[in-house]
Chain A
Amino acid sequence: MSLLAVRDLHVWFDLPHGGRLHAVQGITFEVEVGERLGLVGESGCGKTTALLALMGLLPPSAEVEGEVLIDGIEILRGGEDAMRPHRWTDIAMVFQGAMNALNPVKTVGSQIVEPMEFHGTATGAAAKREAGDLLQLVGIPASAADRYPHEFSGGMRQRAAIAMALACEPKVLLADEPTTALDVMVQAQILQLLVSLTHDLGLAVMLVTHDLPLVTQVCERAVVMYAGRTAESAPVDTLFHDPRHPYTRLLFAATPDLTGDSEVVSIPGAPPRLDRPLVGCPFASRCDRTFDRCRVDTPELVMVAARHQAACHLNDAEHAHEMDAATGGGAS
């Protein structure tokens, strides 16, 4: 039984001027202990909404459907109140804009101690000491606990946020674009820290990002999202070398590589509007392999190999040959 299981998660938003945005259209995945899962996609594909839904951090205009299980216990269907005891104790989160994620008028140490005392994992001096150890663990001197967030650099603030996330020894750490606002060298430090946490603490980490190479280097498995749905999910090696969804392949082709000399090609068109019902495959208008069936019915997420799923008609039996021709993977 996996540590974190998400089954057929849907999220709708009521739009201010009427209408409903179907931001997450039924995604399913699982995360094991100590595993690093990437959730990758471009802006507006629903990856951040999905992540927030796992912890029930949605606005009142949202409506969710589906199941989120941690160690087999369902935490989503009970709504905000039932979810609250699981927050930070089972599942914690690090946000992108670290600048404002920490309360500017309270010391960093007090913000780390706060969840400990509330959830009862530690109190008083013990909590303070624990906070100091956590800061040390993420590479910040324990003495920094009494300082304020604005005295920290970008990298240090993100480390402090990670220390805060570990306050109640969570089983799963969700990270929403943790390094997007950081320089490549500081990004490497933070990612190295996250990877070491999965080894040392057996912590499961879910990394949401738009940066494909980041996922292939840091994560073991990844879910590629497009228009609120799972386009493809597989171990990162398969994703690059044997992509079974044109979007994954084209996304790799659009990403410049340091030493790769393949030509960088952009993907024409734009993702579909999510406040309108979907007809056919969402990627049909931008895909270089579209055929009649794609414009009519929406492909289901199908197992194409062990731990490898893709939602594309090309994977159906009669089109298997055509798919192989296309598979050159990113290296084409």
Chain B
Amino acid sequence: MKTVEPAIAEGTALEARPSKGGSPVVQVLRERKSALLGLFIVGFFVLVAVIGPSLAPYSPNVPSGPVYAAPSAHHVLGTDGSGVDVLSEMMYGGRTSLIVGFAAALVAMIVGGGIGVLAGYSGGATDVGLMRMTDYFLVIPDLVLMIVIATVFGPSLSHVILVIGLLLWTTTARIVRSQVKSIRERVYVRRARSLGASHRRIVVQHILPQVAPLLIATTVLTIAYAIFDESALAFLGVGVPGISWGTMLEHAFERTAMTEGAWWAFVPPGLAIGLVVIGCYLMGQAIEDALNPRLRVAHLSIRTWRVRSPQTVTDELAKDEAG
């Protein structure tokens, strides 16, 4: 269960690449095909989650065929351990998983972003205090805490969202804080301060627009983690009530689908979670790379500079002259 934050090197000053109109996020989606692929994958699943249930051939909880029926014409993805149509479950389940993913990421963005901006901008004691608090949160293994809270408070959709959100905000907070801290030192912010601009104005005019793209990148990555955590919680039986990709995996495991050879009972939900996470990762990573041209030209690589023979030079120059 992945709880360590992604490869975003925390603390790097992310200078938002000046945009040629339109926010860098849009610009990145245009330029980097990996981001576009990510958007397409996530988009597809969101679409399925929204319109899917109305198109589902069967009900997601009433058995509509033999147990572990192999994929066939009228059960495109076969049936699970209790005879329920896997495709319908996938559609309804997808909705829950994505809701948890997006909602928890939103919570993490608001809490993490807020604390990150507050700590980064105010500096001094507030900064140290908030960051120390974040350290403690980061140290606590969030899966176990989720189990404890879900057990003690009882499983419910809002509890799971809240719990996942409240435990994933620490990564967002740390990244946002280091970005805000570096922006605050920028000359144009100091100049605005020396002009007597109010703190509110500086944050709204200079800090937020600069940190927004990074916040979006981190939030997109948090969606991936939230979906992960939801599936882990479901696997431990403390997930959301009702159907989700996580609960489908858990049912398949409970009813030993693997040894029954019924791959269609657990492969679709597993792959779906994997694909959505990959989609989010591609988008988030692309935006973060675009913001952060920190990967300088490597001074060392397998390929080396080339030497041109005199012959090609002369006709090249001839072409230049003519061109």
Contacts and interface: CB of A to CB of B under 8 A. Distances in A.
B304 A60 contact: yes
Interface in B297-323: 297-299, 301, 303-308, 310, 313, 320-321, 323
A60 B301 contact: yes
B300 to A, nearest CB: 10
Interface residues of B, number: 15
A59 B305 contact: yes
B308 A64 contact: yes
Interface stretch (A75-83, A123-131, A145-153, A258-266): A75-83
A59 B297 contact: yes
A12 B317 CA distance: 13
- Interface SS of chain A: helix, strand, loop or mixed? loop
Interface residues of A, number: 19
A10, A58, A59, A80: most-surrounded residue (chain B CB, <10 A):
A59
Contacts of B310: 65
Contacts of B304: 60, 79-80
- Interface SS of chain B: helix, strand, loop or mixed? loop
A60 B307 contact: no
Contacts of A79: 304-307
Given A10-B313, A65-B310, A65-B313, A60 B305 contact: yes
Given A65-B310, A65-B313, A80 B323 contact: no
B307 A62 contact: no
A12 B303 CA distance: 16
A79 B304 CA distance: 8
A56 interface: yes
Nearest to A60: B303
Contacts of A57: 299
A56 B305 contact: yes
A57 B301 CA distance: 12
A80 B302 CA distance: 11
Contact of A65 (B297, B307, B320): B307
Contact of A277 (B301, B303, B308, B320): B320
The 9 A-B pairs at the shortest CB distance, nearest first, are namely A60-B303, A62-B305, A58-B305, A80-B304, A65-B308, A277-B320, A63-B306, A65-B313, A277-B323
Given A80-B305, A277-B320, 4 more contacts: A64-B306, A64-B307, A64-B308, A78-B307
27 contacts: A10-B308, A12-B308, A56-B305, A59-B297, A59-B298, A59-B299, A59-B301, A59-B305, A60-B304, A60-B305, A61-B297, A61-B305, A62-B305, A62-B306, A63-B305, A63-B307, A63-B308, A64-B307, A64-B308, A65-B310, A65-B313, A76-B307, A79-B305, A79-B307, A80-B304, A277-B320, A277-B323
Interface of A: 10, 12, 56-65, 76-80, 277-278
